[in-house]
Amino acid sequence: MISDRFRLAVAQLNPTVGDVDGNANLVREARVEAAAKGADLVLASELILAGYLPEDLVLKPAFVRRCMDAAHALAKETADGGPGLVIGTPWKGDDGKVYNAALLLDQGEIRAVRYKYDLPNYSVFDEKRVFAAGPLPGPVDFRGVRIGLPICEDIWNDEVCECLEETGAEILLVPNGSPYWQNRAEERLQVVVARVVQTGLPLVYCNQLGGQDELVFDGGSFALQGDRSLAFQMPQFEPALAITDWTRAGETWICENGVTEPLPGLDEANWRACVLGLGDYVNKNGFPGVVLGLSGGIDSAICAAMAVDALGADKVHAIMLPYRYTSEESIEDAAACASALGIRYDTVPIAEPVEGFRNVLSDLFKGTKEDTTEENLQSRTRGVILMAVSNKFGWMVVTTGNKSEMSVGYATLYGDMNGGYNPIKDLYKTQVYHLAAWRNANRPKGLLGPAGEVTPTNIITKVPTAELRENQTDQDSLPPYDVLDDILDCLVEEEMSVGEIEKRGHDRALIHRIEHLLYIAEYKRRQAPPGVKITERNFGKDRRYPITNRFRDRS
For the chain, give the percent of residues with pLDDT over 70.
97
What would the pLDDT profile of 120-161 be if each residue is shown by its tens digit?
Answer: 988 888 899 999 999 999 999 999 999 999 999 999 999 999
Q: Position 196: which residue type?
A: V
Whether 337 contacts 459, CB under 8 Å? yes
Distance CA 337, CA 332 (A): 9
What would the pLDDT profile of 309-341 be if each residue is shown by its tens digit?
Answer: 999 999 999 999 999 988 899 999 999 999 999
* Crossing angle of the two packed helices 429-441 and 266-284, in degrees rounded to 10: 100
What is the Cα gyration radius of the chain? 26
Q: What is 187-255 written as a DSSP string?
A: HHHHHHHHHHHHH---EEEEE-EEEETTEEEEB--EEE-TTS-EEEEPPBSS-EEEEEEEEEETTEEEE
**Domain ranges (residues) in the chain:** 5-263, 267-526
476 pLDDT above the threshold of 70: no
What would the pLDDT profile of 370-420 be if each residue is shown by its tens digit?
Answer: 998 999 999 999 999 999 999 999 999 999 999 999 999 988 999 999 999
Whether 80 contacts 109, CB under 8 Å? no
Distance CA 63, CA 49 (A): 11
1 pLDDT above the threshold of 60: no
What would the pLDDT profile of 24-59 be if each residue is shown by its tens digit?
Answer: 999 999 999 999 999 999 999 999 999 999 999 999
Q: Which residues are annotated as a binding site for deamido-NAD(+)?
A: 376, 405, 524
Query: Which residues are marked as active site?
Result: 46, 116, 152
Look up residue 451 and give its DSSP letter: S
SS3 for 499?
A: helix
What's residue 211's pLDDT? 97
Q: How confident is the model at residue 550 (pLDDT cuts 50, 70, 90)?
A: confident
Region 249-278 average pLDDT: 94
Three-state SS string over 44-56 comes to CCCCCCCCCCCHH
Q: What is the mean pLDDT of the chain?
A: 94
What's residue 473's pLDDT? 67
Q: What percent helix, strand, coil does the chain show, rounded to 5? A: 40, 20, 40
CATH architecture of 5-263: 4-Layer Sandwich (3.60)
pTM of the model: 0.94
For the chain, give the percent of residues with pLDDT over 90.
88
Q: Which residues are annotated as a binding site for L-glutamine?
A: 122, 178, 184
193 pLDDT above the threshold of 60: yes
Region 190-207 average pLDDT: 97
Distance CA 70, CA 101 (A): 14
What's residue 128's pLDDT? 92
Distance set, CA 222 to CA 226, 289, 312 (Å): 13, 34, 30
477 pLDDT above the threshold of 80: no
Distance CA 509, CA 479 (A): 12
Tell me the residue ranges of DSSP E strands in 35-162.
Answer: 41-43, 84-92, 98-106, 109-115, 140-142, 145-148
**Other Cβ atoms within 10 Å of 366 Cβ, number:** 7
Distance CA 341, CA 363 (A): 45
Q: Across the strands, what pairs with 203?
A: 172, 224
Region 195-222 average pLDDT: 97
What's residue 466's pLDDT? 65
Environment class of 207 (CB within 10 Å of its CB; exposed 0-12, middle 13-18, buried 19+): buried
Whether 195 contacts 162, CB under 8 Å? no
Look up residue 490 and give its DSSP letter: I
Q: Which residues are annotated as a binding site for ATP?
A: 293-300, 400
Region 477-489 average pLDDT: 91
Q: Which residues are annotated as a binding site?
A: 122, 178, 184, 293-300, 376, 400, 405, 524
What's residue 467's pLDDT? 54
Distance CA 221, CA 253 (A): 18
If one looks up domain 267-526 in CATH, what number appears?
3.40.50.620
Distance set, CA 448 to CA 240, 270, 298, 311, 487 (Å): 19, 16, 20, 7, 36
Q: At a CB cut-off of 8 Å and minimum separation 6, what does 39 contact?
A: 7, 8, 9, 83, 243
What's residue 249's pLDDT? 87
544 pLDDT above the threshold of 90: no
Whether 377 contacts 413, CB under 8 Å? no
Of 446, 495, 30, nearest to 237 (Cα)?
446
